[in-house]
Amino acid sequence: MENELADLPPELRDALARMLERASGEDGRKMAHAVIRRESEIWVSVQRVLEDARNGLTGPPAFDSLWNAIRGEVRATIRAVLYRKDDEHVDEVEQQTAMEVLRKLDSYSMERGTFLVWVKGIARNLARWRRTPAVRGTAVELPPDRPNQHRSLPPSRCYDELLSWIQEREAHHAVVFLLHQYLEWSLDSIAAGLGDRTILEVARFVVHRIRDERKGPTDPMTLFARLLAKAAALGEVKLMELYGNETANAALSHWSGGVKRWMVGRVTGSGKRLLTGICELRAGAHERLTFLWSPLLRRALADLCSRADDTLQAILDVFRADFPKSSDLTPAQVEGCTEPLKKDFVPGKTLAQCSRGDLVDDLVIWRERIRSMVVAKCKDWNVVAYAYLCGALPGIAGPAKGGVA
């Protein structure tokens, strides 16, 4: 067997040595030799295709020739993974695999494994994502683009927490904010209809309107107890008496806008702290990165799976570039929050190299492990922060009308 492979190209000889170092027992050594033997048979074709890729000439006829040589093995891999064995399903995955291989040719290197093993890995992952959900035994459920927060954090907790924050402001500022931003009253209507009422009367009016018109709070009278107490402490002071030297509209706009800016700061600030906390969790860097991708970046795990050959740093760079677009955090803030994650990366390590089995299954396991760790930490402001980071908070300029989910 050793003599049979004596004339291997240096790259294949090195690959064989690496595989033999990791081989377990005689069966493992036989498998290593079989893989390299097969690779040597297509070596010339592979090198021609890779050379074309480096020169920007990917495609027929070199690729077609190589694909015809390995097509049977690729289809066998696909068929073994698919629950539906129909030729039309195998054909679809084969076509996707060929396109994916062509797209990634310029990034392939022998350090990622032999070419045929690399192609089979792509085929296997694509086939796993093509499994039919209705077939019994399916292990993976594709996540939605915008994950449903109901499963992890009850919307009412988030909703109540947001409304409790507002009560930290002065009573007359809080009630005007709730009227204007939350109940959608115009400033003119507030001034004309409630200007001559006491702050306590306005506060009671607001609480009753929220109870009757808005979904979310389970017990508004209890939830707003602090606001009502602060309003009662002002005694017979009327809303219009607090305008000072400003016009009614100017004063009301000033109060409502101040609470709005403060709420935005509270939400984004808590989001920054939680994002940093996620990146500091005592878990694998690849696991935390998977959670950043889904649900935080709100991208499907299938998309992440297609980046198996990208380094962890490259995937983090995508997150850093795209996440600010879906939040009010700046690129600098996102970079600072994710710095703890970057420090744990092994230089040059790819996502695929983090998996010890099937990457598709591992991605789900990694994401759910971090989700469980995060949900366990989600108390008080973390509830709002999690909803905000996951995109389940439609607007942060105050509670979303009708609920946060």
Note whether 161 and 381 are within 8 A (CB): yes
| C-alpha separations of 164 from 17, 157, 185, 226 in Å | 64, 10, 21, 8
Same domain, residue pair 101 and 168? no
CA 315 to chain CA centroid, Å, is: 12
Q: Are residues 305 and 359 in the same domain?
A: yes
Question: Looking at this protein, which amino acid is placed at residue 316?
Answer: L
Cα(383)–Cα(149) distance, integer angstroms: 11
Burial class, 376, CB count within 10 angstroms (exposed 0-12 / middle 13-18 / buried 19+): exposed
Is 91 in the same domain as 116? yes
Q: What is the pLDDT of residue 37?
A: 84
Q: Point out the domain boundary residue: 258, 282, 299.
A: 258
Last residue of a domain, one of 230, 258, 286: 258
pLDDT of residue 68: 87
Check whether residue 106 and residue 161 sit in a common domain: no
d(CA 378, CA 382): 5
What single letter denotes the amino acid at residue 174? A
Q: What is the pLDDT of residue 238?
A: 95
Domain count, the chain: 3
User: Using the 8-state DSSP alphabet, how is residue 236 labeled?
Assistant: T
Measured CA angle at 203 (ends 199, 204), to 5 deg:
120
Q: Helices 199-213 & 225-232, crossing angle to 10 degrees? A: 160
225 inside domain: yes
Domain identity same for 272 and 375: yes
399 within domain boundaries: no
Q: In 10 A of CB 3, how many CB atoms?
A: 6
Q: Assess whether 273 and 252 both reside in one domain.
A: no
Residue 334: which domain range?
267-389
315-323 long-range CB contacts below 8 Å, 24 or more apart? 315/289, 315/351, 316/289, 316/292, 316/341, 316/342, 316/345, 319/289, 319/292, 319/293, 322/297, 323/292, 323/296, 323/297
CATH number of the domain bearing residue 16: 1.10.1740.10
Check residue 153 and report its DSSP letter: S
Task: Determine the length of the chain.
Answer: 405
Handedness of CA 6, 11, 14, 16 (dihedral sign): negative
Tell me whether residue 21 is in a domain. Answer: yes
Largest CA distance in the chain: 101
Q: Is residue 102 part of a domain?
A: yes
Report the distance separating Cα 16 and Cα 18, nearest Å: 5
Residue 391 C-alpha from the chain's centroid: 10
Provide the token pair at 257.
């806008």
Question: Can you give the pLDDT at residue 141?
Answer: 38
Please check whether residues 17 and 125 belong to one and the same domain.
Answer: yes
Q: Which of 394, 150, 386 is nearest to 274 (CA)?
A: 386
pLDDT for residue 259: 92
Task: Tell me the Ramachandran region of residue 402: left when phi exceeds 0, alpha when psi lies from -120 to 50, beta otherwise.
Answer: left
- Residue 115 sits in the same domain as residue 231: no
Helix, strand and coil in the chain, % to nearest 5:
70, 0, 30
pTM: 0.58
- In this structure, the answer to whether residues 176 and 96 fall within a common structural domain is no
On whether residue 145 sits in a domain, the answer given is: no
CA dist list (Å): 312 to 108, 284, 285, 318, 319: 16, 11, 8, 10, 11
Closest CA to 342 of 271, 270, 269, 276: 276
Q: Give the pLDDT confidence score for residue 105 in this predicted structure.
A: 84
In a domain, 182, yes or no: yes
Can you read off the two tokens belonging to residue 173? Answer: 């500022």
Q: Is 398 within the bounds of a domain?
A: no
Going residue by residue through the chain (405 aa), what tens digit of pLDDT does each one get? 445 556 778 888 887 777 777 766 777 778 778 888 888 888 888 888 888 877 776 556 788 888 889 998 888 888 887 755 566 778 878 888 888 888 888 778 777 678 888 888 888 878 776 554 433 333 333 333 334 433 445 456 777 788 888 999 999 999 999 999 888 899 999 999 999 999 999 999 999 888 877 655 667 778 889 999 999 999 999 999 999 999 999 999 999 999 988 988 888 888 999 999 999 998 999 999 999 998 898 888 888 988 888 999 999 999 999 999 878 889 999 999 999 999 999 999 999 999 887 888 889 889 988 988 887 766 655 778 888 888 776 544 444 333 332
| Under 8 Å between Cβ of 251 and 274 | no
On the 0-12 / 13-18 / 19+ scale of CB atoms within 10 A, 354 is buried
Nearest to 267 by CA among 177, 400, 371, 401: 400
If asked whether residues 111 and 203 sit together in one domain, one would say no
Q: Are residues 219 and 306 in the same domain?
A: no
Q: Is residue 212 domain-shared with residue 276, that is, in the same domain?
A: no
DSSP secondary-structure letter at 267?
A: H
Answer positive or negative: Cα dihedral of 149, 151, 152, 155. Answer: positive
Last residue within a domain, chosen from 227, 258, 289: 258
Residue 136 lies in a domain: no
pLDDT of amino acid 129: 65
